[in-house]
């Protein structure tokens, strides 16, 4: 007996990706619900259920604290709307191949085309596709149904038509359908959307089954692509569809000389391996491969033979790798998910840019930087012909271009713009032109005391002070730019500064003798005596750090670079107020603020005290002011004299008393 395993057997890219996403969410402690079974394989589903994964039939059945995973089949647009309206956290595992079909039919519907879908109308993938088609769409499962459809809808033959296929549609049946479509429509736009993984799997199964006595197809009974494989193989030889090793018809298989094994897209490698081990055991002692090389040449084009378990594992691993780096492609964004951007690069393969390959800034979210329809240049990182995928990178292409600019900027000391993406040990990382530039703490801020955290996510300007292209290392300095900016501001200030010019500034610091104000690149000082017309003990009685103040230049010392500022306003000068509002002869209430042997001082207005001489306190002789007055008394006085030059104000209580006495004498006489 010989055993031959199809090299395309097992998890396809899309299923693998979806299952991985679920495991990742579980590893992060999330409560996971999937919208329908994530995979058509009962064993994998049981394994996930054991980890707590719940299958929800609709979004409404998902609790608000759970993460809902959309499986690789995808869902229609209305379902996304429902998920959003329920406010559910969602992880979209729609396979890029399927997302590409969504984009195609969506565009066709916008253009008013009728969409024809080759597939099973009840399959979730097709249901999802229909959710992007608008009203005019029809599904047919084979050539016969298509013929019937065209017969029933005669008029629709003249309409513009777009034809797509379910990703797992039978390749042979697709060919049949296309023949019909092409005969009827001259203007049909046809998209062969059968997934490469499916096409290759079917073609290998076809080849292999032609050269075998029996085929084992491993996969879930609900899996559409497994069912197709079974259909393909059973035309050529006796074929057994098994879900697990327990279902192997061992007695029947023992009689077969050549046995081929293939598996559906949702069959885990562990089950394939179990089947292989069991088959190897029953074949004990016999050579596993007795093929005639000529006879099997065709089969060998697409299959690899199993000789040991190790080889099988290697074979699966091998099939996943195909490096194709450094090639540039241009693509159009057809889908954006939180973890990747799906790009149509004009090839049969589905292009995708993992979120980590989109930008050098790890904080960037795909939805923030790209949208469906955007065009971009990308670098191919890896192609996987078996899966039909191309992994692309934007960040590497940006970085390649970026390094050219960085090197040039280092040479001519150009100032670069960037965004600080991370605060790291010893400095920050700024991203410019897709290149990560390290800026040491000593070069990151104007002063060492400024916190680095304040720079996070900020736009900064810097120069490259060191570059090593070989090691892809660039070091920058923000401080160098800040220094230049400060110098330029200083020069500009001195060019235009003049006494009495008014500025708006921000109080930077306070000392016991004044306040320092940032005038925009240069600091000036308001002396404490300039802060207020009244006597103050500390500048903080008038201003505080961070206050925006209007000041004027009182004096400039260009040689020493010093600027003296004025703050208090002339119109607030109490002597001006006194002159305007309290002429000699005014009568007013004043408060006694001090007592001496020769008189009492009283506050006339804030900032001006007047003297009530001892002779003016009463209308009779007193020994000392304290005999009549005490501090805090409020008394009525008359302003009898103002000496503006010497800043002296004379007050009199006596004058008022005498006037009163005179008045009462006059009234008595009358
Ligand atoms: S079969 Fe193809 S389309 Fe379907 S999930 Fe797998 S890779 Fe995607």
For 320-364, the pLDDT digits (tens) are 333 344 578 888 887 777 778 888 887 767 788 888 889 877 778
125 is catalytic: yes
Q: Does 313 have pLDDT greater than 50?
A: no
**Class at the top of the CATH hierarchy for domain 583-669:** mainly beta
Q: Over the stretch 298-312, which tens digit does the pLDDT of each residue have? A: 333 334 444 333 343
Q: Residue 135 to residues 67, 117, 132, 138, 465: CA-CA distances in angstroms?
A: 31, 13, 9, 9, 61
The fraction of the chain above a pLDDT of 90, given in percent, is 49
The predicted pLDDT at position 301 comes to 39
pLDDT tens for 493-528 read 999 999 999 999 999 999 999 999 999 878 999 999
Residue 87 clears pLDDT 80, i.e. is over it = yes
Write phi, then psi, for 254 (nearest 5 degrees): -60, -30
Contact between residue 272 and residue 239 where contact means Cβ atoms under 8 Å apart:
no
Q: Does 398-483 match 497-568 in CATH topology?
A: yes
Ligand 1 mutation pick, 72, 350, 388, max ligand atoms within 8 A of CB = 72
Structural domain boundaries in the chain? 323-393, 398-483, 497-568, 583-669
Q: What is the mean pLDDT of residues 452-466?
A: 92
Which secondary structure element, helix H or strand E, spans residue 482, and what is its range? helix 478-496
Which residues are CB-neighbours of 326 under 8 A, at least 6 positions away? 379, 380
Collapsing DSSP states into helix, strand and coil, what is residue 38? coil
Q: Whose CA is nearest to atom 7 of ligand 1?
A: 14
Cβ atoms 240, 216 nearer than 8 A: yes
Quick one: what percent of the chain has pLDDT higher than 70?
92
Buried residues in 320-329 as b, exposed as e (16+ CB within 10 A): eeeeeeeeeb
pLDDT at 280: 77
Domain 398-483 belongs to what topology?
A: OB fold (Dihydrolipoamide Acetyltransferase, E2P) (2.40.50)
Q: Which of 89, 125, 274, 387 is catalytic?
A: 125
For ligand 1, atom 8, which residue shows the shortest CA distance?
14
Ordered alpha helix ranges (H), 51-123: 77-86, 96-110
Higher pLDDT, 79 or 16: 79
Token pair of 130 as six digits: 């229909």
Per-residue pLDDT of 177-234, as tens digits, reads: 999 988 888 778 898 888 877 778 888 899 999 999 999 999 988 888 899 899 999 9
* Gap between the Cα atoms of 562 and 571, Å rounded: 26
pLDDT computed for residue 300 by the predictor: 38
Q: How many CB atoms lie within 10 A of CB 398?
A: 21
Length of the chain: 670
Residue having the nearest C-alpha atom to atom 5 of ligand 1: 14
Rounded to an integer, the average pLDDT of 226-247 is: 92
279/254 Cα distance (integer angstroms) = 9
Phi, psi of 243 (to 5 degrees): -90, -35
The per-residue pLDDT for 235 is 93
Residues having CB within 6 Å of any atom of ligand 1: 12-15, 72, 95, 97-98, 167-168, 195, 197-198, 225, 265, 387
**CATH T-level fold of 323-393:** OB fold (Dihydrolipoamide Acetyltransferase, E2P) (2.40.50)
CA of 18, closest atom in ligand 1: 5
Mean pLDDT of the chain: 86
**Nearest CA-CA partner of 453 in 482, 431, 483, 424:** 424
pLDDT digits (tens, 9 = 90+) for 368-398: 888 888 888 998 888 776 666 788 999 888 8
Give the residue-averaged pLDDT of 99-126.
Answer: 92
Alpha-carbon torsion angle 271, 273, 278, 283, nearest 10: 150
Q: Which atom of ligand 1 is nearest to the CA of 73?
A: 5
Superfamily of domain 497-568: Nucleic acid-binding proteins (2.40.50.140)
């Amino acid at each position: 007996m010989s055993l031959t395993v199809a090299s395309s057997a097992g998890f396809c890219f899309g299923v693998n990706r979806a299952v991985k996403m679920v495991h990742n969410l579980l590893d992060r402690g999330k409560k996971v619900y999937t919208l329908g079974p994530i995979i058509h394989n009962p064993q994998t589903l049981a394994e996930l259920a054991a980890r707590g994964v719940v299958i929800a039939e609709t979004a409404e059945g998902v609790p608000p604290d759970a993460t809902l995973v959309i499986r690789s089949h995808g869902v229609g647009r209305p379902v996304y709307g429902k998920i959003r309206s329920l406010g559910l956290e969602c992880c979209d595992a729609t396979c890029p191949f399927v997302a590409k079909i969504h984009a195609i039919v969506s565009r066709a519907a916008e253009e008013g085309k009728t969409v024809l879908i080759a597939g099973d109308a009840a399959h979730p993938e097709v249901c999802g596709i229909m959710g992007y088609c608008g009203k005019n769409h029809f599904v047919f499962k084979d050539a016969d149904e298509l013929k019937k459809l065209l017969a029933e809808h005669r008029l629709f033959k003249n309409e513009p038509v777009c034809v797509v296929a379910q990703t797992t549609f039978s390749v042979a049946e697709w060919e049949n359908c296309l023949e019909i479509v092409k005969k009827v429509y001259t203007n049909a736009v046809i998209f062969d959307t059968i997934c490469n993984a499916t096409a290759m799997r079917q073609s290998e199964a076809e080849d292999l089954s032609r050269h075998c006595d029996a085929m084992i197809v491993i996969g879930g009974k609900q899996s559409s692509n497994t069912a197709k494989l079974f259909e393909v193989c059973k035309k050529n030889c006796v074929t057994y569809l098994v879900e697990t090793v327990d279902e192997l018809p061992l007695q029947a298989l023992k009689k077969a000389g050549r046995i081929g094994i293939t598996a559906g897209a949702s069959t885990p490698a562990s089950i394939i391996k179990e089947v292989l081990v069991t088959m190897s055991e029953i074949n004990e002692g016999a050579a596993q491969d007795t093929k005639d090389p000529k006879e099997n040449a065709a089969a060998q084009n697409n299959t690899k033979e199993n000789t040991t378990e190790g080889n099988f594992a290697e074979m699966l691993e091998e099939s996943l790798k195909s490096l194709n780096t450094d090639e540039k492609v241009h693509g159009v964004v057809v889908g954006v998910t939180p973890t990747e951007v799906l790009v149509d690069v004009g090839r049969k393969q589905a292009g995708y840019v993992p979120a980590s390959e989109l930008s050098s800034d790890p904080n960037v979210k795909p939805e923030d930087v790209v949208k469906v329809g955007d065009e971009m240049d990308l670098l191919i990182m890896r192609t996987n012909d078996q899966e039909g995928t191309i992994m692309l990178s934007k960040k590497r292409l940006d970085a390649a271009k970026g390094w050219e600019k960085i090197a040039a900027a280092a040479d001519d000391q150009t100032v670069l713009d960037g965004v600080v993406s991370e605060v790291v040990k010893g400095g920050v990382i700024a991203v410019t032109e897709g290149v990560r530039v390290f800026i040491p703490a000593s070069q990151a801020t104007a002063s060492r005391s400024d916190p680095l955290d304040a720079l996070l996510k900020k736009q900064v300007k810097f120069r490259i002070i060191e570059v090593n292209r070989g090691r892809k290392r660039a070091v920058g300095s923000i401080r160098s730019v800040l220094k230049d900016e400060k110098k330029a501001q200083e020069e500009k200030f001195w060019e235009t500064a003049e006494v009495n010019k008014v500025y708006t500034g921000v109080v930077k610091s306070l000392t016991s003798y004044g306040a320092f104000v940032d005038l925009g690149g240069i600091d000036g000082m308001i002396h404490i005596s300039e802060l207020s017309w009244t006597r103050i003990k500390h500048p903080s009685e008038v201003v505080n750090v961070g206050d925006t103040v209007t000041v004027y230049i009182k004096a400039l010392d260009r040689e020493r670079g010093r600027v003296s500022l004025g703050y208090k306003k002339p119109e607030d000068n109490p002597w001006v107020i006194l002159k305007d509002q309290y002429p000699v002869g005014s009568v007013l209430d004043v408060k006694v603020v001090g007592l001496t042997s020769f008189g009492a001082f009283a506050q006339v207005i804030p900032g001006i005290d007047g003297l009530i001489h001892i002779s003016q306190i009463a209308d009779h002789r007193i020994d000392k002011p304290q005999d009549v007055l005490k501090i805090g008394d409020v008394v009525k006085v008359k302003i009898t004299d103002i000496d503006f030059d010497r800043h002296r104000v004379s007050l009199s209580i006596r004058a008022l008393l005498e006037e009163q006495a005179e008045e009462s004498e006059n009234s008595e006489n009358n």
